[in-house]
Amino acid sequence: MNKKITVVGAGNVGTTTAQLIAEKGLGDVVLIDIMEGIPQGKALDILEACPVWGSSSKVTGTNSYQDTAGSDIVVITAGLARKPGMSRDDLLFANTDIMKQVAASVAEASPEAIIIVVTNPMDAMAQVVQKVTGFPRERVIGMGGVLDTSRMRSFIAMESGAHPKDIHAVVLGGHGDLMVPVRSLTTVKGEHISKVLSDDVINAIIERTKGGGAEIVGLLKTGSAYYAPAASSVEMIETILGLKKELLPCAVYLEGEYGISGVYVGAPVQLGAGGLEKVVQLELTDDEQKALHASADSVRGLIEKIGI
C-alpha cells in the first residue's frame, strides 16, 4: 500500500513538491489549498503526467482536510512568500497565523503524521507547528539546512568545476542571515576546500549561501525560490522512507545538543521511519560553535516575538 503524502499549499513550492513525489512514485499525493479549483487542477495535471513518468502514484487536489486524513507525511508550504526587500523575518507574524490554522487541521486529520515545515521563517514556523500540534520533536522537522547546504554545494561546484556529488558541505543554524556554513568540514573530492579554492572565493561562497534565497527573490521580483526547496523537501521524504541514508542538516528542536536547548535550529540529523532518529554531534571549531549559538539566539528572538 502506497504511503499517503499531503502537501499543504498549491503555490510554486507545494506544486513542485507534489510533482516530484509523484514523478518518483514515492506515494499517493494529496495537494490541499484554500483556493478553490487550484489544487484540483494542478493535481489533475500532475496525475496526467504519471503515465509518462511510469508512476502509479495517485494525485488528488482538495480544499478539505478530511481528504488528507491518515497521511503518513505532511509537507507544509502554505504561507506568504518573500518579495524583494523582505527578509524571512518580515513574514513572521502573518505566517504564524497561517501555521496555527494549518497545524491544528493537520493534527486533527493525521495525528500520526511526520510533518516537514518549509514555510518561512522556517525554524520559528516549525516551533509554532510543534507547539500547536503537540507532536513530539521527532515528528516536526524543518527543511532549511538541506536547502542551504545544496546551495553551498552548487556554488562550490561552479567555482571548482567539481561534480556536486564530490562536494561535502553542511550548513547549520537558523535558515536566515545567521546560518552557519561549516567551513572546517567542507571538502572537494576529499580535500579540504582551502586546498582547492582561495580564501576570497570561499568567503564569497559563504556569503552567497547566506543570501541565496534573497538573490533569487531579487532576480524573480515577483516570487521566491521553489525548485530547490521542493527538491530538498523530497530528499527528506526519501530519507524518511528509507530510500536514502543521507545525513541531513534539518531544523529540529534541540534538547542540549551543541549546548542549545528549547529552540528549533539546523543540525545534522538521521531521519527514518519515525522522523527524527538522532541528532549527530559534529566537531566544530570554537568560532563555528559561537556562530551556531548566535544563530540559535536569533531564532529564539523570533519565538519570543510571537509568544510561542
Residues marked as catalytic = 175
How far, in Å, CA of 139 to CA of 76, rounded? 13
Rounded Cα gap, residues 301 and 303, in angstroms: 5
Secondary structure, 3-state, 7-26: EECCCHHHHHHHHHHHHHCC
β-partners of residue 76 are 8, 117
**Do the Cβ atoms of 278 and 269 come closer than 8 Å?**
yes
Hey, what's the cell of 282? 559534529
Quote the CA–CA distance of 193 and 207 in Å, as a whole number.
15
Element (H, E) at 131: helix 122-133
Residue in the structure block whose three cell numbers are 512514485: 25
Number of residues that make up the chain = 308
Instruction: Encode 91-125: b = buried (16+ Cβ within 10 Å), e = exposed.
Output: bbeebbebbbebbebbbebbeebbbbbbbbbbbbb
H-helix or E-strand spanning residue 76: strand 73-76
Q: Are strands 73-76 and 114-117 parallel, antiparallel or unpaired?
A: parallel
